[in-house]
Structure 1
């Protein structure tokens, strides 16, 4: 009997030791830095889109060889038929997107509720455009802008409207990456970056840019915009705080899911199709 008890105790010790030496691997977490988190989400989205396209015998890595191949690729990426999602912004512009297609499927995997993500993403991406529209409607800005126009064309004989004011070029609306069919496939997968201006190009800028810069100062437009822009942006952010909060929550969830997808790819595994992080 004593031998039996000793043997049982030894077996129990082995079981406990085995459990203690095989801890579960913790789930990977996303990086804290915002830029690295954005890059991680884009990387995971590309993985999902490429996998979806490959399942249809397609790829975005090379240029389509014919119009038919291009049409097929665009349909696979962006979906077909009438767009299911749309949002009219306070600026008057309406943004549309599909809920089918590989890009929409990838975003569904990353963000979950497509409609909620679409509304939050489009709204947040156009906060500066909304703030700029409010600023241009301000009486102080209108008066300064009128002085700016007179400075550019004192005789009032210009046949074409002057160039856009600096506030419009300085705070352009970020085009929401919602995957509408009017955008080329590569643009839907990678963010667009402005071309780098060389030192030579900077030295040879057209004379009208110097005139605009002088007129912005003399008309008071530059100082008015510097004063109004942060105020109007704060107003807009306060008005859209619900969308901002939803955008933050959804991006945090997407970052965690993207970390899982990237880790699975590194370990040679395939994430479960259609799974979505809570």
Structure 2
């Protein structure tokens, strides 16, 4: 997915969200700032690829292709039965052969190596969930971030940490006794259709059962499981319980990581000013 997004962005750029804040100034809107930084990283990475004589072409992999469900997030289980009836879990059922997928993967490997780097991963940091994230420093995306933010190592550590605070909050919610009680009620609710301790387990159960089914049958089974999930999420108030608890845990994490958040904001401001100053 990361490579597809990078290729599409590098080949076509991002849409301008407006609210530019005037010529030569940093935009006021956070969304527009995000677009500006994304465009700047893409422009700098594109120049790097050109210097390395690697061409970029978009294959239309923007996630809006045939059979792909509209993008929605359900962090604590699908709570929209109508959406579930139309899109199931939102997981596409594969129709292509394994050979076709392997061939497409090979075609992307050279570009992936150039973008993300190869060899030993020199950058490393630990997130609030305890996960160790590593990356190369010799790829074109790393070079773009080095130029844009001034210090690749500091940016990598701050960006990874801040970007994973949401996952850390989600993890704390799933361990919260209040959420666990709601989840137990949800599990009992779905048990007549499929035994599962969590929405994730329900998806895994579908994947196991769908493995030997024809695409149409696999899709029908996915929709049946997803509707069951959604109805039980509604009945047990699972999603609203998770969302309520997440606000509290997210606030706690913002306090715990206030220094890293401040450093991330400082480096981000540096990148925004660089992008504006150099017309990126």
Could you state the TM-score of these two structures normalised by the residue count of structure 1? 0.62
What is the alpha-carbon distance in structure 1 between the residues aligned to residue 279 and residue 57 of structure 2? 19
Question: Is 1:262 the equivalent of 2:279?
Answer: yes
Residue among 119, 138, 145 paired with 1:81: 119
Residue among 28, 36, 50 paired with 1:32: 28
Query: Retained in 1: the 8 A contact 2:159–2:264?
Result: yes
Query: Retained in 2: the 8 A contact 1:44–1:261?
Result: no
Residue among 138, 141, 158 paired with 1:103: 141
Query: Retained in 2: the 8 A contact 1:85–1:115?
Result: yes
Alpha-carbon distance, 1:137 to partner: 1.0
Residue among 36, 43, 49 paired with 2:39: 43
Match of 2:94 in 1: none
What is the alpha-carbon distance in structure 1 between the residues aligned to residue 140 and residue 105 of structure 2? 19
Superposed CA deviations along residues 187-227 of structure 1, whole A, max 9, x for unmatched, are xxxxxxxxxxxxxxxxxx92443432332243343443243
The alignment partner of 2:35 has SS state of helix
Match of 1:236 in 2: 253
Larger radius of gyration between Structure 1 and Structure 2: 1
**Please, which runs of 5 or more residues in structure 2 have no aligned partner?**
1-22, 60-102, 202-221
Alpha-carbon distance, 1:29 to partner: 2.3
The alignment partner of 2:134 has SS state of strand
Alpha-carbon distance, 1:133 to partner: 0.7
Match of 2:150 in 1: 112
Alignment of 1:143-154 (within 5 A): 143-154=181-192
Query: Retained in 1: the 8 A contact 2:189–2:232?
Result: yes
Change (3 A) 1:222 1:48: closer
**Please, which runs of 5 or more residues in structure 1 have no aligned partner?**
1-26, 166-204, 264-278
Alpha-carbon distance, 1:105 to partner: 0.8
Superposed CA deviations along residues 26-72 of structure 1, whole A, max 9, x for unmatched, are x9322222122222222222221121111121122367x99887544
What is the alpha-carbon distance in structure 2 between the residues aligned to residue 253 and residue 121 of structure 1? 13
Query: Retained in 1: the 8 A contact 2:115–2:139?
Result: yes
How many residues of Structure 1 are paired with residues of Structure 2 in the alignment?
Answer: 197
What is the alpha-carbon distance in structure 1 between the residues aligned to residue 240 and residue 31 of structure 2? 31
Alpha-carbon distance, 1:97 to partner: 1.0
